[in-house]
């Protein structure tokens, strides 16, 4: 990757962000949806998590931060790419000297900026209304940082990979929401993972969303909360490996499935 | 100088159907070639293979000396493409759109001058999604030429234009040619081919059936003239190789003006319809 590619990636990011920001409906939905889910869940389910002093609402803030990250990086991105391809925009860009890497960088930049805004908003709401505390130590902030970055990278690469494979934009929401909704239920966003049958807990740990959400809990909840996690420990080393593996797999699929045009 | 586009024995098959069947085509540097043909004749397939968008099953293709199937991104610096339909980033303004595409090229055209040339100066601040069909088409062209291409592909550029907009568009294309741009144009409009093209190639069922200047296509220049007039006996029509003599004799016989007198040769449209086997 050279300076020119980075420069074009930055140009693409700017174009993507302006396009999102100026579409008031799309932008409003992007911002309000996670907020709505947080307010609903954190208000409906009150009390502490069994065996801990942690409020249910705090767990939901961490879980919704994780699922929002994947929703923007994976779901919205894949659907957006399918629409962009169908509109002929991708074909138009294919006719220019821009590299695929610059195109991908634009997507990554857009997702990063959007998720950063969403996450900041969720943290602010969590702290102000739902008894959540900001990470208390440098190491907790570092945990948040690497979980965030690896989570965004894995989600975005998978979003591009899947978005490149969808041939009809009308089917895109169904194609990407099916795995995403299932993952949310088994990854501890809405239901504690420990309530799942053992085999489903194992399945859950294969996927990135489990580790993104667990990482967010590790960063934002008291360390003692780990006693109610699967295996009674955070096990974030495994989480890092799983996320890195998904990044590598996502990148590999991207470079092999993305075509500027279909034959 | 080697031709800008050289196609030899091109073949493209979709299942059992040969969309393009042994097509030979050359476009010389600096000329405008119009590729004509009915829908489904293989125009777009041929052009998209030259543009590097589609693969081919057989034949040799060289575009600016390079095989488009294996061309790198650098080749795209020299090739401009205006597709039949392609989307815009809807919330970007006209100016932002052109500026963004300009940023993708090493030596782009100056943006204000280009907006002026395509007649979008007044719409510079309008978002792409709010443009009319004709304005969108002009933005397509602006994007296609912003990188100063040596070779420009125009796929049915004026479909849906009103006659005045079409004339303006033709002037614009002529200016690009004066700058030395080679142009491969596909169109449904015979008058467009006649107005712009140095050479016309007609493709029917995947094959080139004629390839010459608009004035000589299908032996048009040698074809008999038709003299038509009306007198008290009704309408007359005489097919002749000596129309001047026919008119002189007519004048002598009638001793004055012949009513509704016309002398015509087959139009490009007449020749074209004959070539594609349609009944006019």
ipTM of the complex: 0.87
Tally the residues of chain B: 280
Q: Which residue of A has its CA nearest to B12?
A: A263
Question: Pick the residue with more confidence: A53 or B61?
Answer: B61
Specify if A225 maps to a domain: yes
Predicted pLDDT of residue B46: 95
Q: What average pLDDT does this structure show over B203-210?
A: 92
Beta-carbon separation of A95 and B81 below 8 A: yes
Q: Say how far apart CA A150 and CA A135 lie, in whole Å.
A: 18
Is A39 inside a domain boundary? yes
- The distance of Cα B146 from the centroid of its chain, to the nearest Å, equals 20
Task: Give the pLDDT of residue B278.
Answer: 61
Q: What is the mean pLDDT of residues B168-195?
A: 92
Residue from B104, B125, B139, B150 whose CB has the most chain A CBs within 10 Å, to mutate: B104
Contacts of B80 in chain A (CB under 8 A): 95
Is B105 within 8 Å of A96 when comparing Cβ atoms? Answer: yes
The H-or-E segment that residue A241 falls in is: helix A236-257
B44 three-state secondary structure? helix
Q: What percent of chain B has pLDDT over 90?
A: 60
Average pLDDT, chain B: 91
Nearest Cα neighbor of A31 from A124, A118, A108 is A118
Closest Cβ–Cβ partner in B53, B73, B88 for A97: B73
CA distance A98 to chain B (A): 6
A95 and B51 within 8 Å at the Cβ level: the answer is yes
Give me the domain span that covers residue A169. Answer: 3-257
Average pLDDT of every residue of chain A: 91
Q: Chain A within 8 Å of B86 (Cβ-Cβ)? A: yes
pLDDT, position A262? 62
Are A250 and A157 in contact by the 8 Å Cβ rule? The answer is yes
For residue A39, is pLDDT > 70? Answer: yes
> What is each CA distance from A135 to A175, A210, B256, in whole angstroms?
36, 20, 105
Answer whether residue A120 is part of any domain: yes
| Cβ-based contacts under 8 A for chains A and B | 71
Give chain B positions within 8 Å (CB) of A92.
Answer: 81, 83, 86-87, 143
- Is residue A263 in some structural domain? no
Is A99 in Cβ contact with B51 (below 8 Å)?
no
Q: What is the pLDDT of residues A141-181, one digit of tens each?
A: 999 999 999 999 999 999 999 998 888 889 999 999 999 99
Domain membership flag for residue A74: yes
3 state DSSP class of B50:
helix
| B280 — pLDDT class (breaks 50, 70, 90) | very low
Task: Tell me which of B249 and B1 has the higher pLDDT.
Answer: B249
Distance from CA of B240 to the nearest CA of A (A): 51
Which of A80-84, A209-213, B23-27 bottoms out in mean pLDDT, i.e. has the lowest? A80-84
Closest-CA residue in chain A for B148? A96
pLDDT band at A229 (very low <50, low <70, confident <90, very high): confident
Domain membership flag for residue A262: no
Report the predicted TM-score, pTM, of the whole model to 2 decimal places. Answer: 0.87
Query: Could B89 and A15 be called an inter-chain contact, meaning their C-beta atoms sit closer than 8 Å?
Result: yes
* Number of H-type helices and E-type strands within chain B: 8, 12
Between A15, A88, A99, which is nearest B100 by CB?
A: A15
Say if residue B51's pLDDT is above 80: yes
What is the mean predicted confidence (pLDDT) over B44-62? 94
Give me the mean pLDDT over the A43-52 stretch: 84
Q: Which of B85, B106, B127 shows the shortest C-beta gap to A88?
A: B85
Residue of chain A minimizing CA distance to B104: A98
User: Residues B114-156: pLDDT tens digits?
Assistant: 999 888 999 999 999 999 888 899 999 999 999 999 999 999 8
Query: Which residues make Cβ contacts (< 8 Å) with residue B133, sequence separation at least 6?
Result: B160
B 60-79 residues with CB below 8 A of A? 73-74, 76-77, 79
Model confidence at B279, in pLDDT bands (50, 70, 90)?
A: very low
Per-residue pLDDT, averaged over A198-203, amounts to: 93
Map tokens 């979003």 to a residue: A159
pLDDT for res A76: 94
pLDDT in the model for residue A243: 97
The mean per-residue pLDDT over the stretch A8-32 comes to 93
- CB spacing of B83 vs A84 below 8 angstroms: no
CA distance A167 to A178: 17
User: How many domains does chain A contain in total?
Assistant: 1
Is the model's pLDDT at A247 over the cut of 80? yes
Q: Do B87 and A18 touch (CB under 8 A)?
A: no
């Amino acid at each position: 990757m050279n300076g020119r590619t980075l420069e074009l990636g930055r140009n693409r990011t700017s174009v993507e962000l302006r396009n999102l920001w100026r579409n008031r409906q799309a932008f409003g939905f992007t911002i309000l949806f996670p907020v709505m889910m947080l307010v609903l869940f954190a208000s409906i389910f009150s009390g502490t998590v069994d065996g801990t002093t942690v409020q249910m609402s705090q767990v939901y803030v961490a879980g919704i931060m994780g699922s929002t990250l994947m929703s923007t990086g994976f779901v919205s991105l894949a659907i957006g790419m399918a629409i962009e391809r169908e509109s002929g925009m991708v074909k138009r860009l294919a006719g220019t000297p821009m590299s695929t890497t610059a195109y991908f960088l634009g997507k990554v930049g857009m997702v990063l900026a959007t998720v950063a805004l969403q996450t900041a908003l969720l943290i602010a709401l969590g702290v102000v209304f739902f008894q959540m505390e900001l990470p208390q130590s440098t190491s907790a902030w570092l945990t948040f940082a690497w979980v965030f970055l690896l989570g965004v990278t894995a989600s975005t690469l998978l979003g591009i990979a899947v978005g490149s494979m969808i041939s009809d934009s009308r089917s895109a929401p169904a194609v990407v929401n099916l795995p995403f909704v299932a993952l949310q239920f088994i990854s501890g966003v809405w239901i504690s993972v420990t309530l799942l049958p053992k085999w489903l807990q194992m399945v859950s740990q294969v996927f990135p969303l489990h580790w993104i959400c667990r990482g967010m809990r590790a960063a934002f909840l008291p360390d003692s909360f780990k006693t109610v996690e699967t295996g009674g420990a955070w096990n974030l080393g495994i989480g890092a490996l799983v996320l890195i593996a998904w990044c590598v797999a996502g990148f590999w699929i991207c470079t092999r499935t993305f075509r500027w045009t279909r034959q | 100088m080697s031709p800008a586009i050289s196609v030899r024995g091109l073949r493209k098959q979709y299942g059992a159907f040969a969309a393009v069947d042994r097509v030979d085509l050359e476009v010389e540097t600096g000329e405008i070639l119009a590729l004509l043909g009915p829908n489904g004749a293989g125009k777009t397939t041929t052009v998209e293979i030259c543009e590097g968008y589609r693969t081919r099953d057989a034949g040799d293709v060289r575009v600016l000396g390079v095989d488009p199937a294996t061309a790198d991104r650098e080749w795209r610096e020299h090739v401009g493409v205006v597709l039949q339909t392609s989307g815009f980033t809807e919330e970007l303004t006209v100016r932002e759109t052109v500026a963004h595409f300009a940023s993708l090229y090493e030596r782009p055209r100056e943006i204000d001058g280009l907006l002026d040339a395509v007649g979008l100066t007044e719409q510079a601040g309008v978002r792409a999604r709010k443009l009319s069909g004709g304005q969108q088409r002009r933005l397509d062209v602006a994007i296609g030429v912003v990188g100063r291409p040596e070779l420009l592909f125009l796929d049915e550029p004026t479909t849906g234009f009103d006659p005045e907009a079409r004339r303006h568009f033709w002037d614009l294309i002529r200016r690009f040619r004066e700058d030395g741009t080679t142009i491969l144009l596909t169109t449904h409009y015979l008058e467009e081919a006649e107005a712009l093209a140095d050479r016309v190639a007609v493709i029917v069922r995947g094959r080139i059936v004629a390839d010459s200047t608009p004035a000589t296509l299908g032996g048009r220049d040698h074809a008999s003239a038709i003299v038509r007039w009306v007198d008290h006996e009704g309408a007359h029509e005489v097919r002749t190789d000596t129309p001047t003599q026919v008119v002189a004799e007519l004048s002598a016989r009638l001793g004055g003006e012949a009513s509704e007198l016309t002398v015509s040769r087959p139009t490009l449209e007449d020749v074209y319809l004959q070539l594609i086997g349609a009944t006019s």
